[in-house]
Every structure is written in C-alpha cells, then in structure tokens.
Amino acid sequence: MKLWQKNNDNNSPLGVGGIIEQFTVGNDRAFDLLLAPFDVLGNIAHAKMLATIGLLTNEEAEVLVTELKAIYKTTQNNNSPSGDGGLAFTIHDNVEDVHSQVEFLLTEKLGDIGKKIHSARSRNDQVLVDVKLFLRSEIEKTVASIHSFFDLLIAKSEQFKGHLLPGYTHLQLAMPSSFGLWLGAYAESLVDDTITLKAAYEVVNKNPLGSAAGYGSSFPINRTLTTQLLGFADLNYNVVYAQMGRGKAERIVAMALANVADTLAKISMDACLYLNQNFGFISFPEELTTGSSIMPHKKNPDVFELIRSKCNQIKSLPNEILMMTTNLPSGYHRDLQLLKEHLFPAFETLRSCIDMAGLMLNNMQVKEHILEDEKYKFLFSVEEVNKLVLKGVPFRDAYKQVGLAIEDGAFTYSTTVQHTHEGSIGNLCNEQIAAMMKSVVSGFDFDTYHKAIADLLMQ
C-alpha cells in the first residue's frame, strides 16, 4: 500500500514495478520500525489538533486516538509477543513505510474515519516529526550512558590520584602526571562533549509538524498545540526551513556523537599503550583481554581496540551526512531517506562502547611507584628548574643550569612533586568538574517532554 497511489492497480506497464519499489524502499522498513512509536505519537497529536479546527469531530478524534493508543502498545513489544497475547508492530511487505502501515491499520479498523487522519499534513512532515522524536529519545539514553561513565571516571580519578605516571608530549617523556589527572581529564572532556549534545538536543527539540510537504497548509492548523502535545520546546516556524532542517539536524547530532566517540577513542588508545609491556602502567583481569593462538604470553586489549575502531567509524558520520546532503536545494529529496541507516545505529554502537569502556576501567589495576624507576628521571627536570627559580634564579638561567647538568650527566632530582594550583596533580578539582556536568545534564529538562507524552497517552 502506498499513500500516494490513486488506484489499487499495482501492475507496471514496463514490468519493473517491483524492481523500482525494492530500490526506492531499500532498508527503510527496518529502520521505520524504530520510528513506529513516535509515528503513532505524532498521529495522536495531529488527530487531537484536527478536532480543534473542525476537520474531525470530537467523536472521530476520540475513536482515532483510542485506536492509535492500541497501536502504540504494539510498538512497545519489540517484535516479540506481548504479555497480553498481542503481537508486536510490524510493517507488512506490501506496505511502503511506517506512515502507510499506521494509516492502513486505522482504515482497516475504522473505515473512512481512518482515511481522515492524513488531512493537513504530508509524509514529509510526518517523517520529520518521527525522526526528531526518535533523536530526542536516543539523545536522552546517550546522556544517561555518558553521565554514568563520567561518574566512574571521577571515582577512579579520586581513587588513583596519588599514583604518579609519566606524562608525554610528542610521545617523549615530559613531566609527571598521575592516574587521577589522566582519568579526570577524560571526565572533563565528557562535560564539553555533553554540552555539544545539549546544543544538538535544542536543535532536535523543535516541532516541524504542520510544515506538510514543506510549504504549509491552507487549513487553519494549530501548530502551537501539537508542539505542546508532543512536548517540544518550540516550533520550527518557517515551513520551508522545517524541511531544510532534515539532514541538518542529523548532521548536528552526528557531530555531537562524534565528539563523545573521539573522547572514547583517545582513552582507548591510551589504555592500549599503557597496557603494552614497554609501558606496563596498567593491567586487567585475564577474562577482559584476549590471547594468541601461538603466543601463550599474550594479553591483548581487544576491547579497547574495537572501541577505538567503532568510535572512529562514528567520527566519520558527520562527513558522511554532509556529503549525502551536499548540493541539495531546499525542499524534500529522497536522498534524505538514507540518513536513517547511517545515523540510527550509531546511538547503540556508541552506548555499547561507553558500557564496555566502563567495564574495563572499573576493573583496571594500576602499577604503583612507576616514577621511582631511574629511566623516568628527566620527567623531574622542570621540578628542578622551578626549585632554582624559587631560590631567586631567573628562569632562563635556571633552565640553562639544569640543561647543562643533564648534558654533563650530573643531573640530580627528587621524585617529590608539589603541584597545588587548580587542575594540577595535587588539586584535581573533581568536585568542580562534577558540578559542571550536573549543570549541563540538568539543562536538558527531559522531564518536560516525558510529562507531555504521558499526558498525550492518558487523555
């Protein structure tokens, strides 16, 4: 069934109808199943709005909403039988997309009343609202995963704040660091990543419904009402821009996910290096590493390597979406359909990477007294320069004095460090970093949309 068909004749004069449908629909049905609950919510809000402008009677709207709520329950069953014996929501093979399937079910059950649901809208704004509701939900799940991982990093930073390790620049020995400083750095990185996710959420949390095919409707629809019913923070006001936002919203979300992925990829690379025997800074229980078929000593960091690779794939997403939408003029284009199969799986992939990184770091063992090894003695050259400066020697002269001692083989040092300024080894400022994350997460205000959706389903 196709919403745009004028009759029921599916025969192609050229004999290629099935080939064209297979190519144009592609994998869309599978990804549309993810949109199904959100499509139903959009239908409920739309039906309630139509009743307020006289395109549906109150009785018709009530009948439609009742049936839509029944369909909504099937979308929650995740393709398995529900507890009450009802089957999960599916899209029939002869049905083009989720929008067609929902309308088919309504029409099958309610006859002409079901056919009225599509008044004053297009599949273009249907999929727009579905995608935005889906992205809103996925962002919330992702923020929860990030926040949990952040809390672990802060806890581990505090646990290991007294354990020193080498700091590197250019992969050369630089200055003393600590496990607390290292782990806390990634915690604060997640704060900024979450800020970018918050910006993406603000772009997503605007209502495009009512833009129809991209040029609005001649019916006196009430777009403010559907905005409130669906819990959006605001409207996409200009109907042309509402359509232009397809692809842009996905790209902005992809960039936010890529930022988180970059943080995970970097800490994974650090972990791979630090586990290497030439470093030997950290270790993991044997069951969290893998072995070799011929080298019995191997404990490979496969989990971190796969996190690194999966996250690097996610980092390519913004450019993929950018290229898929390059040179598209305003208005809807079928190219945009393909964005789903690139972006939608990235959420689950990223969250699985976060979970696995958390599992690894929660079971990480760190080596103590690393910097007592003489091979790390030059890490303390700056400490010795600073000691001379505190005695009144000009910095440049102190630098030269210590440098000459190193060249002459006469360098002496102490492994004691006294870093007390904000954000240093001795003053990690984890409380302040945690406060920043709390402020960012609270700014999402997920409760507002949860309440709106609960009210929508209850009324």
| Beta partners for residue 177, in sequence order | 165
Is the same domain home to 149 and 107?
A: no
Residue indicated by tokens 């997503």: 204
Q: Rounded to the nearest 10 degrees, what angle do helices 28-52 and 98-110 cross at?
A: 50
**Which element (helix H / strand E) includes 214?**
none
Give the pLDDT confidence of 13-29 residue by residue, as tens digits: 665 556 766 776 667 77
pLDDT at 292: 75
Residue 323 lies in a domain: yes
Q: What is the CA radius of gyration of the chain?
A: 29
Is the same domain home to 103 and 242?
A: no
The structure tokens listed for 62 are 């009530």
The structure tokens listed for 358 are 């958390």
Q: Do the beta carbons of residue 172 and residue 418 sit within 8 Å?
A: no
Classify residue 385 as exposed, middle or buried by CB count within 10 Å of its CB (0-12, 13-18, 19+).
buried
Q: Do the beta carbons of residue 273 and residue 279 sit within 8 Å?
A: yes
pLDDT at 101: 95
Is the same domain home to 99 and 140?
A: no
Q: What is the pLDDT averaged over residues 167-182?
A: 97
Give the pLDDT confidence of 81-105 residue by residue, as tens digits: 444 556 789 999 888 899 999 999 9
Is the same domain home to 175 and 294?
A: yes
**Structural domain range at position 30:** 17-118
Alpha-carbon torsion (32, 36, 42, 46), positive or negative: positive
pLDDT tier, 11 (very low <50, low <70, confident <90, very high otherwise): low
Q: What is the pLDDT averaged over residues 289-315?
A: 91
pLDDT at 12: 59
> In three state form, how does the secondary structure of 262-313 look?
HHHHHHHHHHHHHHCCCCCCEECCHHHCECCCCCCCCCECHHHHHHHHHHHH
3-state secondary structure of 174: strand
Is the same domain home to 81 and 156?
A: no
Is the same domain home to 317 and 237?
A: yes
Is the same domain home to 173 and 65?
A: no
Is it the case that residue 404 has pLDDT exceeding 90? Answer: yes
Is the same domain home to 83 and 148?
A: no
- Residue that finishes a domain, picked among 65, 91, 118: 118
| Beta partners for residue 97, in sequence order | none
State the total domains in the chain: 2
Residue 230 lies in a domain: yes
Is the same domain home to 274 and 287?
A: yes
User: Cα–Cα distances in Å, from 170 out to 174, 424, 439?
Assistant: 9, 20, 35
CATH number of the domain that residue 240 is part of:
1.20.200.10
Q: Is the pTM of this model over 0.85?
A: yes
pLDDT at 200: 98
- Residue that finishes a domain, picked among 98, 118, 138: 118
Is it the case that residue 397 has pLDDT exceeding 70? Answer: yes
Residue 29 lies in a domain: yes
Residue 385 lies in a domain: no
pLDDT at 81: 46
Is the same domain home to 127 and 87?
A: no
Is the same domain home to 232 and 174?
A: yes
- The residue ranking higher by pLDDT, 225 or 82, is 225
Residue 399 lies in a domain: no
pLDDT at 83: 45
Residue 418 lies in a domain: no
CATH number of the domain that residue 29 is part of:
1.10.275.10
Classify residue 187 as exposed, middle or buried by CB count within 10 Å of its CB (0-12, 13-18, 19+).
buried
pLDDT at 82: 46
Is the same domain home to 38 and 69?
A: yes
- Residue that finishes a domain, picked among 62, 97, 118: 118
